Structure 1
Amino acid sequence: MKNHMEKTEAFLRLSSVLLLVLTALLIGLDHQTKFVFFAYRKASYDNVRALVVLVYVDAVVAGYNLLRLFGQCSSTPAAWVKANPNGSNINLAWLSLLLDQMAVYVAFGANSAAFQASVLGITGIPDFQWMKLCNKYTKFCIQMGGALMCGYVACLLLISISFITAFNLFRQYSPKRFLLLKSISD
């Protein structure tokens, strides 16, 4: 079962890396130029700060998952400590869970902020005299929507990875060890 779970985790990490890189590339390379009000205007991701942050966050989270994937597949010291049966891998498992949780929360937060900024581009706010942009830059908005969808699917995969990491951590605690620690503290 352990080998099957490691293969599933590796597949999920690879899939999330591919989706995060796809999200960053779709957003980073997306632009459209239109003739608007007697001048050429260009819509690109660097016009909205939340999209710039999303590109960087997705790149960092993809890099983290790629490092974890290589550490899982190779015989590096980190992989040796992970496979060490004498119980010294508890701290590494806690660190792994913490980092995986941070990756999920940061990626989801950045995707949600970019989604909120993109909704303003679709609806506009007449009270602030912000006009709708997606009726003028249709290709840009469709590609941005596809990129955000890929980002949310990657977040779902990261949540699944976090579940597996939590399972791997908490299965190291045996009931006998827990009860022994509880009786010492009482």
Structure 2
Amino acid sequence: MESRTMVKMEAFLRLCAMMLSILAACLVGLDSQTKLLFNTIERKATFRDLDALFVLVHVDSVVAGYNLLQLGRCFISARFEGSLKGSYLYLAWVCFLLDQIAVYVSFGANSAALQASVLAITGARSFQWMKLCNRYTRFCVQIGGALFCSYAASLFMAVISSISAFNLFRLYSPKQFLLLKFN
């Protein structure tokens, strides 16, 4: 019963992380705002203007797809709980390593996008970079919301990674050492 509860909790966290990653990718990828500059030039701000936002869309999409695949694994392992014992050690290692990679890549892409967004808000006078968010306010607010969703997805992925580590290292411990008791 403890294992089944753990799988349900992991599946719920993966579903939340997947939905937040999809939301962040859609918010960034579909965000654009057009402004008229100097009453003659029309300029459109999109996620392609900042390379970090372009990378964030792709990373969030891949993380959402990975969580969808792992969600399928959670449903299969919950259904066939007793019959997958033989190669479970290798599967636990693969899941642990892939979860670690997903968390670190997602967090790195979020941090790079946040850094680029802060530069868009504040500008950099020494490089003669203008502030962009005073002209494209709605665009910047939507990117901020997407970054919040993406960081929340990374946080969920970190919790999932700790569950994955628990599931892996539980296989190496004595029988009574790392058992969770759900009462």
State the TM-score, normalizing by the size of structure 2. 0.89
Count of equivalent residues: 173
2:181 matched residue in structure 1: none
Matched AA of 2:84:
N
Say whether residues 1:91 and 2:90 are aligned partners: yes
% same residue? 58
Matched AA of 1:63:
G
Matched AA of 2:67:
N
1:45 matched residue in structure 2: 47
Alignment gaps of 5+ in structure 1: 177-186
Matched residues in 1 for 2:29 and 2:81: separation?
38
After superposing the two structures, state which structure 1 stretch, 138-147 or 167-176, moved more: 167-176
Alignment gaps of 5+ in structure 2: 176-183
Contact 1:82–1:89 at 8 Å: present in 2 too?
no
2:61 matched residue in structure 1: 59
Contact 2:32–2:44 at 8 Å: present in 1 too?
yes
Matched residues in 1 for 2:82 and 2:91: separation?
7
What's the RMSD between the two structures over aligned residues?
1.9
Matched residues in 1 for 2:139 and 2:96: separation?
37
2:179 matched residue in structure 1: none
Matched AA of 2:24:
T
After superposing the two structures, state which structure 1 stretch, 89-98 or 25-34, moved more: 89-98
Note the alpha carbon deviations across 1:26-77, whole angstroms, 9 max, x for none: 000000001112311111101111111100011011101101101221379x
After superposing the two structures, state which structure 1 stretch, 33-42 or 110-119, moved more: 33-42
Matched residues in 1 for 2:57 and 2:77: separation?
31
Contact 1:27–1:144 at 8 Å: present in 2 too?
yes
